[in-house]
DNA sequence: CTGTATCCAGCAGGATACTG
DNA sequence: CAGTATCCTGCTGGATACAG
């Protein structure tokens, strides 16, 4: 079974010019996908997001939101009220990205057991396999 | 447009028991997807992989291959020859994973320009937006 | 050729304190 | 409420040397 994403055809690589690496590097961090996923249900405020995720620090949430906004995955709307109110919403680009990520997430859910089983059964090779 | 991967429904989260986070953490590192992608074209030896990828260190290639083998994404076959010869091949699990990753990679390719454009147009909010 | 062991620098990211 | 600034630690991953 041959896939069509061999590097020669897709241009994948660790070059900075590689689109896939660029995108993957940005959303492949600890929090980005999580934030996007939480926003898939609808607009949320900063504190709502923080409380929903639970174990993200204020610093990382802020930083992650900036990065996602910067790349166009979500939009930020600040109301000039006191106290301030800021809402974050997925853009069309963000939604479209999530739609592609979803199958991968579902796959992970379905196949996690297999991975765990493989890990359990795994015996590391004895440094330049004998026999 | 509502996606079906809202955390409440998928169970995504940063818990260690979260299947998606577990899988994503393992393949979301610097090299795993790249190695898998290169193997999608067929079986490769250690040095072939290293030369193909180019800028991966021996240490990271070895480490990445171990990790992927451990999780069942690829299989390792060592020939007891001198000098040693070791071949790496995708398993069914690895191929199945790559099939889900591919759409994401293609999306990245197609939408990279939009991301770059968003970055270019981006102006950071002035710390608690005025107006 | 196919690795492992060691050392080390850079950076992601947590805790905390402070501001508009 | 919604952040930014500072400090500090651990891990990722590169370079190098060595081994089967």
B30 within some domain:
yes
pLDDT at residue B28, as a whole number: 81
Give the Cα-Cα-Cα angle B30, B33, B35 (nearest 5 degrees): 95
Distance A48 CA to D3 C1' (A): 14
- Residues 49 through 108 of chain B touching chain A, CB cutoff 8 Å: 52-56, 66, 69-72, 76, 78, 80, 84, 86, 93, 95-108
Q: Is B90 helix (H, G, I), strand (E, B) or coil?
A: strand
Distance A28 CA to C12 C1' (A): 13
Chain A residue nearest residue B127, CA to CA: A78
Q: Is the pLDDT of residue B73 over 80?
A: yes
pLDDT at residue A99, as a whole number: 94
Region B12-38: what's the mean pLDDT?
Answer: 80
B16 within some domain:
yes
Highest mean pLDDT among A10-14, A42-46, B22-26, B104-108: A42-46
Q: Is the pLDDT of residue B130 over 50?
A: no
pLDDT at residue A8, as a whole number: 63
Could you give the CA distance from residue B78 to residue B86 in angstroms, rounded to a whole number? 4
pLDDT at residue A17, as a whole number: 67
SS (H, E, C) chain A: CCCCCCHHHHCCCCCCCCHHHHHHHHHCCCCHHHHHHHHCCCCEEHHHHHHHHCCCCHHHHHHHHHHHHHCCCEEEEEECCCCCEEEEEECHHHHHHHHHHHHHHHHHHHHHHHHHHHHHHCCCCCCCCCC
Q: How far is A62 from chain B (nearest CA, A)?
A: 11
A114 within some domain:
yes
A59 within some domain:
yes
Domain that holds residue A113: 7-120
A80 within some domain:
yes
Q: Determine the nucleotide nearest to A84 by Cα–C1' distance.
A: D1
Torsion of CA B26, B31, B32, B35, to 10 degrees: -170
A1 within some domain:
no
A44 within some domain:
yes
CB atoms within 10 A of CB A79: 12
Q: What percent of chain B has pLDDT over 90?
A: 62
Strand D: positions under 7 A of a protein C-beta atom: 1-6, 12-17, 19-20
Lowest model confidence (mean pLDDT) among A126-130, B27-31, B90-94, B110-114: A126-130
Average pLDDT for runs of 10 along chain A of length 131: 62 68 80 92 96 92 96 96 96 96 90 95 73 40
Q: What percent of chain B has pLDDT over 70?
A: 83
pLDDT at residue B125, as a whole number: 87
pLDDT digits (tens, 9 = 90+) for B46-66: 999 999 988 899 999 999 999
Region B82-102: what's the mean pLDDT?
Answer: 95
pTM of the model: 0.88
Distance B85 CA to D9 C1' (A): 41
Is any atom of strand C within 7 angstroms of residue A10's beta carbon? no
Could you give the CA distance from residue B90 to residue B86 in angstroms, rounded to a whole number? 14
A86 within some domain:
yes
At B13, is the pLDDT very low, low, confident or very high (cuts 50, 70, 90)?
low
Give me the number of domains chain B comprises.
Answer: 1
Q: How far is B35 from chain A (nearest CA, A)?
A: 10
Lowest model confidence (mean pLDDT) among A109-113, B14-18, B90-94: B14-18
Chain A residue nearest residue B131, CA to CA: A80
pLDDT at residue A130, as a whole number: 44
Distance B94 CA to D15 C1' (A): 31
Could you give the CA distance from residue A59 to residue A69 in angstroms, rounded to a whole number? 15
Q: Which CATH number belongs to the domain containing residue B52 in this structure?
A: 1.10.10.10
């Amino acid at each position: 079974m041959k896939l069509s994403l061999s590097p020669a055809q897709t241009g994948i690589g660790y070059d900075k010019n590689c689109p896939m690496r660029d995108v993957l590097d940005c959303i492949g961090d600890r929090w980005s996908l999580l934030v996007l996923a939480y926003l898939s249900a609808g607009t949320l405020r900063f504190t709502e997001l923080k409380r929903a995720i639970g174990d993200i620090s204020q610093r990382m949430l802020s930083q992650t939101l900036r990065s996602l906004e910067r790349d166009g995955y979500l939009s930020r709307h600040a109301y000039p009220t006191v106290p301030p109110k800021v809402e974050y919403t997925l853009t069309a680009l963000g939604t479209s990205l999530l739609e592609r990520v979803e199958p991968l997430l579902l796959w992970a859910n379905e196949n996690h057991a297999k991975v765990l089983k493989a890990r359990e059964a795994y015996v590391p090779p004895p440094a330049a396999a004998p026999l």
